[in-house]
């Protein structure tokens, strides 16, 4: 079995880990090659996992090729979220601070999806710029925790906005004030299904996987409606 992500393809140490039959003896840790560690660190950092620890890890260079406490803490947060324990399926399994075959397989899948989302958001921004919008990018692309949604914050014609991408639906633009309501409850509404657009009676609206958010431009009042079972979001 090989990696799907070009980030990991060709790294023999990571490939050996990926193809280990979960013995617990072939894993990424303090004694691993620096280059291999750095590739995994960069993937975790791009997926915003250092900032999803408690407290968040904020350092100038997370991907330094050194397996230290910051890397172990981030791996533990990642594995805890996705229930990656060793040995798998055992009543005595433990959460350890290494990256084994199941961790590498899941990280490979996540970073492939993330890189595709970055490309899709880049393409959407180019399209919007081509339509005459003035767009300023405010942040690099980030992953919304435990979802398949990625986002990049921007301003559009001076208004705070964000582009949200889901692999099943594409990249769509959501602006203030709808943006604030959505980012507070994205786990409930799921991914956008269209750009913010004119709605009935002069409102602005966005349709989501699980409902709709409307805004009254003159007052900034926001209304939600049409929500289905939130379990359908995931």
**pLDDT tens by residue, 4-59:** 999 999 999 999 999 999 999 999 999 999 999 999 999 999 999 998 899 999 99
Cα angle, residue 129 at apex, residues 124 and 132 outer, rounded to 5°: 135
Confidence of residue 227 (pLDDT cuts 50, 70, 90): low
**Distance (Å, whole) CA 227 – CA 212:** 7
CATH number, domain 12-112, options 1.10.101, 1.10.150, 2.40.128, 1.10.287: 1.10.101
C-alpha span between 187 and 112 (Å, rounded) = 22
Tens of pLDDT along 73-128?
999 999 999 999 999 989 999 999 999 999 999 999 999 999 999 999 999 999 99
Distance CA 51, CA 9 (A): 26
Domain boundaries, the chain: 12-112, 133-233
- The Cα–Cα gap between 76 and 73 comes to 5
pLDDT at position 200, please?
A: 83
Q: Are 71 and 77 in contact (CB under 8 A)?
A: no
Quote the CA–CA distance of 184 and 157 in Å, as a whole number.
23
Whole-model pTM above 0.85? yes
């Amino acid at each position: 079995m090989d990696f799907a992500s070009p980030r990991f393809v060709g790294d023999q140490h990571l490939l050996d880990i990926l193809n280990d039959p979960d013995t617990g003896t072939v894993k990424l840790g303090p004694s691993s090659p620096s280059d291999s560690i750095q590739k995994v660190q960069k993937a975790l950092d791009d997926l915003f996992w250092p900032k999803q620890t408690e407290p968040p890890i904020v350092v100038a260079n997370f991907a330094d090729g050194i397996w230290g406490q910051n890397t172990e803490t981030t791996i533990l947060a990642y594995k805890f979220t996705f229930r990656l324990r060793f040995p798998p399926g055992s009543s005595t399994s433990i959460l350890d601070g290494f990256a084994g075959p199941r961790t590498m397989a899941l990280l490979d899948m996540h970073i492939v999806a993330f890189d595709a989302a970055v490309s899709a958001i880049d393409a959407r921004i180019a399209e919007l710029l081509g339509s005459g919008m003035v767009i300023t990018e405010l942040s690099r692309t980030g992953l919304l925790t435990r979802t398949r949604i990625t986002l990049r914050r921007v301003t559009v014609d001076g208004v705070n906005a964000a582009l949200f991408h889901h692999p099943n639906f594409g990249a769509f633009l959501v602006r203030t004030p709808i943006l604030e309501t959505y980012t507070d409850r994205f786990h409930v509404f799921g991914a956008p299904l269209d750009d913010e657009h004119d709605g009935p009676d002069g409102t602005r609206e966005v349709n989501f996987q699980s409902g709709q958010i409307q805004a009254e431009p003159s007052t900034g009042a926001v209304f939600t409606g049409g929500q289905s079972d939130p379990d359908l979001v995931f």
